[in-house]
Each structure stands twice: as C-alpha cells, then as structure tokens.
Amino acid sequence: MSNRNSLLRSTAAAVMLMACAAGAAEKMMSVQVQKAPVRSSPGFLGQMVCKLDYGVRVTVVQKQSDWIKIRDTGGKTGWMHQSALTPKRIKMTAGTQDAQSAASGDELALAGKGFNSDVEAQFKAQNSDADFTWVDKMEKIVVTPEQSEEFLKNGGVRSQGGAQ
C-alpha cells in the first residue's frame, strides 16, 4: 500500500508541476490601440464580441495567419488582428512629459503613410488654387465599427472564410 501511495503522490506532483509549467508558458500581450475590437472569427468581418481598451493584457490562445485568438482577464475569448497587439507590457502614466507629447492616433496613421502636417503645408503651398473644403469636411466624418458592420451586412459582404 505504501508503494501505491508513493506512486499516487509522485504522479500528482508531476501533474501539478506540468500544469504550473503550462501556465507559466502562456504568452501575454497588450492592446496597443485605443479601442480594439475582439471578433468571433479571425477576420475583419467577424461579429464583434467586445472592445478592449489600450493597455489591457490578454492571453494568447491561438494564432492563425495575422489573427490572434485571445482570452481577456474576464475569460472572454475572441480574435484580434495582430496589429492591435504588442508583446510589450504597456505602462500608462498620466501627467508625465511622455504622455503630454505623445502623437495622436491620426498623426501616427498619417506618418505611417508618409504624410504629416509639413507635407500637407508643402502641398498646399505648391497648389494654392486647390480647394480643400470637401477634404476638410470628409476628415470630420466619423463611422463607428457598428455602422461599418451594418453597411457590410446590408451589402451582403462576407469574408473569404464565410464569416459574417
């Protein structure tokens, strides 16, 4: 009986050790955009499950192409595009000089396309007869993710994988 108890204890210890090792191996990532949609399937047309805020930590469950299946601290799972996540832990320190001089999301998007306020000023100087009234009006249009989803749904647009 003593050998059996010893074997059971050894087996239980090994299982616990493997469970701890598996837990330690979980990859964590942080949301690196202001409001990141979590989708039911790996694609931009997947139904939105929820949105996660900038800096929220998530556990990587699975990776499929450019999409990462995540689990948040509340236990919700879903898919996020890899561009919305970073392996770095994001520290938010309000009121610091870094936070005050940070670029806005719009500025980052334009910079990524090679366009910034200096380029815009140069273009306007070289094209003084150009009318930017409609461009300025279009910049103020806001389309929510929900409106985009409704538009796509009404138009019968589906992702290649068939997800809605």
The residues, ordered by sequence, that sit 6+ positions from 149 with a Cβ below 8 Å of its Cβ are 45, 47, 48
Say which residue, 114 or 164, is predicted with more confidence: 114
Answer for the pair 58, 70: CB distance below 8 angstroms, yes or no: yes
Q: Of 34, 64, 89, at which residue does a domain stop?
A: 89
Residue 11 lies in a domain: no
Reply yes or no on whether the pLDDT at 19 is more than 70.
no
For residue 135, being part of any structural domain is answered with: yes
* Chosen domain end from 89, 111, 126: 89
Burial of 83: CB neighbours in 10 Å, binned 0-12, 13-18, 19+: exposed
User: Taking the complete model, does pTM exceed 0.85, yes or no?
Assistant: no
On whether both 108 and 143 belong to a single domain, the answer is: yes
Q: Could you tell me the residue range of the domain that residue 151 belongs to?
A: 101-155
CB 48 within 8 A of CB 35: no
pLDDT tens sequence across 89-121: 887 666 555 444 456 666 665 555 566 677 777
Structural domain tally of the chain?
2
Report yes or no: 41 and 9 within 8 Å, Cβ to Cβ.
no
Q: Is residue 132 part of a domain?
A: yes
| pLDDT range class, residue 62, cuts 50, 70, 90 | very high
Q: Which of 58, 89, 120 is the last residue of a domain?
A: 89
Query: Phi and psi for 52 in degrees, rounded to 5?
Result: -115, 145
Same domain, 61 and 116: no
Average pLDDT over residues 64-88: 93
The answer on pLDDT for 2 being more than 90 is no
Same domain, 80 and 130: no
pLDDT confidence of residue 12 = 61
The verdict on residue 1 lying in a domain is: no
pLDDT at 44: 84
Question: 161 in a domain, yes or no?
Answer: no
- 82 with 28, same domain? yes
Higher-scoring residue by pLDDT: 156, 7: 156
